């Protein structure tokens, strides 16, 4: 019977392909800590030049998580796009699990919008958003759902968008955290990116762990993009400063952040409404969003409040 042999050969082949991306942990030179996310630490490092090393703080005894990690790595190696971070390899032998990517220079969109309070004019807003939609439609084309598309995971490097941190969300992350049995872990600034079908699926297991296997999809990524479009336009998150419970209730009910304070054209707001559609099926695909954004009139500019300078100088973006 040739069938089992074919299966064995395929498995061996995929293991071989994966091992080509295996970086022995000892080969990495680990330098300064850049920051610590929900996942674990990200360090600057050296591996044939400057790299970013994302240490994966996952339970290596848990074979399921280890397999999930390897599965995601097998997807990463297929990514090659100008607006997607360059995957260089991964440390896949426990206890040292890490993802090695190119080191992004510049700042995240989060830093620009929320910390530096930079504001982008309409042309730049259109350019940034278009690049995000291009990177995202590429990832979707490769069968990769980002699951954590947010301004913190988008770098602006030499004026160009770089998407990071995709596909890792469900691996371990919050599920390791034991919470009070009756409370959810909601990291800061996360909720406003979550589509209604995800928000209504948030639950705690009977043992107090939080299940992160939410029903993510290409369409939930589109919802997250809607939030980024709002951040670019408004300079703040939707449901800004509202308590978590209120946000969960509103989104679950299909209520949206009101847009009457936003001084933008109907077409600009229409993009928000499409992306934030309650039903995933009603949300457009990224290619369609890109086309819609590119049809927006340029140069006219949005009316901003006087406290916000309209133009962001090039130097501010480093
Ligand atoms: P969260 O866990 O909520 O997603 P986060 O985005 O800050 O928060 P990480 O993605 O773990 O968490 O990133 C930690 C830090 O490392 C952040 O400051 C992030 O901007 C930075 N970082 C991540 N990837 C890279 C990279 N490829 N190049 C440079 N810095 C990076």
| pLDDT tens track, the chain, 318 positions | 557 777 777 777 767 767 889 999 999 999 999 998 877 899 999 999 999 999 988 777 778 888 888 888 988 888 999 999 999 999 999 889 999 999 999 999 999 999 999 999 999 999 999 999 999 999 999 999 999 999 999 999 999 999 999 988 777 554 345 445 566 677 778 899 999 999 998 876 666 566 667 899 999 999 999 999 999 999 999 999 899 999 999 999 999 999 999 999 999 999 999 999 999 999 999 999 999 999 999 875 455 544 444 444 443 444
Q: Is 202 in the pocket of ligand 1 (CB under 6 A)?
A: no
Which residue has 């930079």 as its token pair?
118
d(CA 228, CA 129): 8
> Atom 29 of ligand 1 has which residue's CA nearest to it?
104
56 token code pair:
């994966």
pTM: 0.88
d(CA 34, CA 175): 24
ipTM above 0.85 for this complex: yes
Ligand 1 atom nearest to CA at 189: 3
Please give the structure tokens belonging to residue 190: 């996360």
Residue 308, number of CB atoms within 10 A of its CB: 10
Gap from CA of 1 to ligand 1 centroid (Å) = 49
Q: Is 152 in the pocket of ligand 1 (CB under 6 A)?
A: yes
Give yes or no for a contact between 228 and 238, defined as CB atoms under 8 angstroms apart: no
**Does the beta carbon of 107 lie inside 6 Å of ligand 1?**
no
Q: Whose CA is nearest to atom 1 of ligand 1?
A: 37
Catalytic residue among 148, 165, 207, 281: 148
């Amino acid at each position: 019977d040739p069938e089992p042999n074919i299966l064995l050969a395929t498995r061996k082949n995929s293991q071989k392909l994966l091992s080509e991306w295996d970086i022995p942990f000892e080969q990495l030179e680990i330098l300064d800590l850049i920051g610590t996310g929900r996942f674990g630490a990200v360090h600057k490092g050296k591996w044939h030049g400057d790299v970013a090393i994302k240490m994966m703080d996952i339970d290596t005894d848990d074979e399921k998580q280890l397999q999930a990690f390897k599965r995601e790595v097998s997807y990463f190696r297929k990514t090659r796009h100008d607006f997607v971070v360059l995957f260089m390899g991964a440390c896949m032998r426990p206890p040292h699990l890490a993802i090695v990517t190119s080191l992004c220079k510049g700042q995240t969109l989060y830093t620009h919008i929320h910390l530096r309070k930079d504001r982008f004019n309409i042309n730049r807003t259109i350019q940034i958003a278009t690049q995000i939609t291009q990177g995202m439609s590429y990832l979707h084309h490769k069968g990769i759902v980002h699951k954590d598309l947010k301004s913190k995971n988008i770098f602006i490097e030499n004026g160009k968008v770089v998407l990071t941190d995709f596909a890792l969300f469900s691996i371990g992350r919050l599920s390791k955290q034991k919470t009070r049995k009756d409370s959810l872990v909601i990291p800061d600034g996360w909720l406003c990116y979550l589509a209604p079908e995800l928000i209504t699926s948030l639950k705690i297991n009977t043992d107090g762990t939080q299940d992160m296997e939410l029903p993510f999809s290409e369409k939930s990524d589109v919802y997250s993009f809607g939030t980024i479009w709002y951040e670019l336009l408004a300079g703040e998150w939707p449901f800004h400063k509202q308590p978590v419970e209120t946000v969960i209730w509103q989104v679950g009910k299909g209520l949206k952040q009101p847009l009457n304070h936003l001084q933008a054209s109907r077409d600009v707001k229409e993009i928000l409404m499409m992306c934030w559609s309650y039903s995933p099926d009603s949300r457009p695909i990224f290619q369609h969003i890109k086309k819609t954004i590119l049809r927006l009139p340029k140069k006219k500019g949005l009316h901003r409040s006087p406290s916000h300078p309209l133009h962001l100088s090039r130097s501010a973006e480093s």
